[in-house]
Structure 1
Amino acid sequence: MTHNFEPFVFKVITASGSGSSFYLRDKKIFVTNYHVVGQFKNVSLQDPTGSRHLAQVILANPYEDIAFLKVEQDFEVPSLNLQMNPVARGEQVYVAGFPFGMPFTVTEGIVSAPSQLMNGKNYVQTDAAVNPGNSGGPVFNQHGDVIGITTSKFTSADNMGFAVPIASLVEEFDSLPHLVNNTFNLVCESCSALIQERSAYCNNCGQNIDEKLFDEPSLTDLAIFCEQALVELGVNPVLARQGHEFWEFYHGSSLVRMFVYNQSYLYVTSPINQLPMQNMQALLEEITSKDVEPYKLGIWEKEVYVSYRIHITDIYGPRHNEVKQNIAGLYRKANELDDYLAEKFGCKFSVHSLKNRQ
């Protein structure tokens, strides 16, 4: 394989999980599976540099399992070619994406069946490894052309991967000139008309429409609380989402993670420094004795963390404003302590710190 597929493939992140997508520069859209974005109308796209961008779902076709996303900027990547001719059995293919939310990965295989009937629709079947998180990403042929959109929704199919044929994607391109800017467009399953406003049926053909498709997914009370705290920090919660009740963002130079542990505790934590080569005993004494209340210092996998833990029940009681203030205070404490430990003990900044990039 001589092609570099990474520049074209972006991770899609929602409050439900993550998937993959690919950028068509000539159309200025990102393509993914509908089941990756679900009912979310705004999602986060992470580019190959790790930067995140707010993307709007401008077209959703649940029946074809295709969605188009738009970001209010262009990306300097080459144009992708789409393989319009039918693929052949035995053809070499490459599945590119983010399996299980991991870093960018490419798996290799062959086309097992060019047109496999599954649940009443035809898919390209391949023996390349496909896992949750690959969904929405591209399947390339040996020439670097896109032959399909990976889908991992058939979890019962062992050692088999499937892709939505590129022909289904091309059919959706006919809708692009008719899309209303900055508007969610639902494709009618029956006649392919675009529906912008909530309705129980298609005005064009009368097909029944599930009105829930126009609603945003409901967040848990805990997620709403945490995202309100992020908004008060000036952080866009959509860009911070990392999955179910899990957020990750930079504030100042420090990476901050917020997540639920064991369905009982809310953790907010930041990796601040790497362990030093020397002065280890002195550092350990400092970590165990230094008063940083309401926060705690600790060590995990050769890095020093400052963390805040609170029982979930406390966010619903009279302390909820105090909890929000402590969440906001953690990033300030992280930016203070990393300099302190670097100067006193010679600790390098965390591998996640933006100070390493200055």
Structure 2
Amino acid sequence: MNNIESSVYKINTANGTGTGFYSRENDIIITNYHVVAGCHTVSVKGKDKNRYLTQVLYVNPGKDIAFLRADSLPKPVDTVLLDHSTVSQTRDKVIVLGYPYGMPFTVTEGIVSNPRQSIGGSYFIQTDAAINPGNSGGPVINEKGELMGIVTSKFSDADNMGFAIPLETLKEELRVVNDLTNVFTLGCSNCGGLIEEKSDYCPNCGTNIDEKLFEEIELSDFSLKVEAAISKLDINPVLARSGRERWYFHQGSAEIRMFVYDNNYLFATSPLNDLPRKNLAEVYEYILTADTEPHRLSISDNQIYLSYRIHISDLYSDHTNEILENLAHLAIKADALDNTFVTKFGAEMTHYSK
């Protein structure tokens, strides 16, 4: 089980986060369509905390399935098993792997409540295993590591009712993998035909197609400004996106977080170090007297932070360029300061650090 975990990834987009898993047989990452909807490029993050630029190759909104490819991703040796003949049965034990609510990797267990629950004309595996937002796209496996299904949804007003797309549905979609190119491709939910060019109908069967399915969601002007600051660090902003108007990334060893606070402020912060057990007086004096302007050192929950806060309206003032520089410099300064606290005061890096 521990080896399989390395093939399950957190998927980060400008709209939110989800889960995906690597298929060695097909050299793709499998997830839900709704996890990557409106995106042609996303990032995936494994347990090593590294993020990898990932292309959305194929989506089938009707089946809620998407295939991704990350060329630079180190290929895991042990993966979820897709090539097997085990059939889900009522009361079978199942295990859900994923990143609920964008949290670190999590494992939950349950049983199959109904292996063929009919919803909206399609069959799903119903389970009582804990499933939450962020689990979407993750694998549901048995104790042998065999894939039973892909997490797709839960009833928000009911407990212990989660649903997974059955393996047989996924296998039907996997037949197209060898026909895919490096172009974003839409699968017709009616005939299964592959559509590479934007169209309002399927060239194969004539079914009406919503052209918006081919389009990437446009970022707000506010998001573009923040990403301009991230670009100053020679970081592709796609690699930093962690949900709507939320960016997490590493500058060297330091984790950097940028997000909207209280609907009015852009907050940038970095958890530098855990407070040391010794030399606290010296640490406090340094935090109070060190010249880090316009950034600010502080302590919260026994950790040392470097932070910067501005009112969102200031991004649209004459100080825009200065603010973007300050955001970028916070990341550079954080990468230096966490080492300073280690060497001068014996502090340790936080578990967020690389």
Does the pair score TM above 0.5?
A: yes
Aligned pairs for 1:1-358 (under 5 A) are: 4-73=3-72, 75-82=75-82, 83-180=84-181, 182-354=182-354
What is the TM-score when the length of structure 1 is the normalising length? 0.93
Q: Give per-residue Cα distances to partners, 1:186-222, cap 9 Å, x unaligned.
A: 0112111111111111111111110111111122221
Instruction: State the AA in 1 paired with 2:109.
Output: E
1:241 aligns to what SS in structure 2? Answer: coil
C-alpha spacing 1:338/1:149, structure 2 compared with 1 (3 Å): closer
Any gaps of 5 or more consecutive residues in structure 2? none
C-alpha spacing 1:110/1:187, structure 2 compared with 1 (3 Å): same
Q: Shift of the alpha carbon at 1:135?
A: 0.9
Instruction: State the AA in 2 paired with 1:321.
Output: N
Instruction: State the AA in 2 paired with 1:101.
Output: G
Q: Give per-residue Cα distances to partners, 1:286-345, cap 9 Å, x unaligned.
A: 322333211111011111111111110000111110011111211232234334444443
Instruction: State the AA in 1 paired with 2:103.
Output: M
1:87 aligns to what SS in structure 2? Answer: coil
What is the TM-score when the length of structure 2 is the normalising length? 0.94
Question: For residues 253 and 106 of structure 1, what CA distance do their matches in structure 2 show?
Answer: 27
2:125 aligns to what SS in structure 1? Answer: strand
Counterpart contact for 1:297–1:304, Cα < 8 Å: yes
C-alpha spacing 1:11/1:338, structure 2 compared with 1 (3 Å): closer
Instruction: State the AA in 1 paired with 2:21.
Output: F
Percent of paired sites with the same residue: 48
Question: For residues 313 and 89 of structure 2, what CA distance do their matches in structure 1 show?
Answer: 57
Question: For residues 198 and 216 of structure 2, what CA distance do their matches in structure 1 show?
Answer: 12
C-alpha spacing 1:291/1:7, structure 2 compared with 1 (3 Å): closer
Instruction: State the AA in 1 paired with 2:300.
Output: W
Question: For residues 295 and 90 of structure 2, what CA distance do their matches in structure 1 show?
Answer: 59
Q: How many residues align?
A: 352
Higher mean displacement: 22-31 or 73-82: 73-82
Any gaps of 5 or more consecutive residues in structure 1? none
Question: For residues 348 and 105 of structure 1, what CA distance do their matches in structure 2 show?
Answer: 25
Q: Shift of the alpha carbon at 1:113?
A: 0.8
Instruction: State the AA in 2 paired with 1:208.
Output: N
Q: Give per-residue Cα distances to partners, 1:45-101, cap 9 Å, x unaligned.
A: 112222111111111000000000111145032353224453211111111111111
2:334 aligns to what SS in structure 1? Answer: helix
Higher mean displacement: 150-159 or 261-270: 150-159
1:228 aligns to what SS in structure 2? Answer: helix
Question: For residues 275 and 142 of structure 1, what CA distance do their matches in structure 2 show?
Answer: 41
C-alpha spacing 1:272/1:147, structure 2 compared with 1 (3 Å): same
How large is the RMSD of aligned CA atoms in angstroms?
1.8
Higher mean displacement: 102-111 or 207-216: 102-111
C-alpha spacing 1:132/1:298, structure 2 compared with 1 (3 Å): same
Question: For residues 120 and 148 of structure 2, what CA distance do their matches in structure 1 show?
Answer: 20
Q: Shift of the alpha carbon at 1:14?
A: 0.9
Question: For residues 23 and 8 of structure 2, what CA distance do their matches in structure 1 show?
Answer: 10
Counterpart contact for 1:26–1:79, Cα < 8 Å: no
Q: Give per-residue Cα distances to partners, 1:116-154, cap 9 Å, x unaligned.
A: 011221101111111111110111123221011111254
Higher mean displacement: 270-279 or 9-18: 270-279
Q: Shift of the alpha carbon at 1:184?
A: 0.6
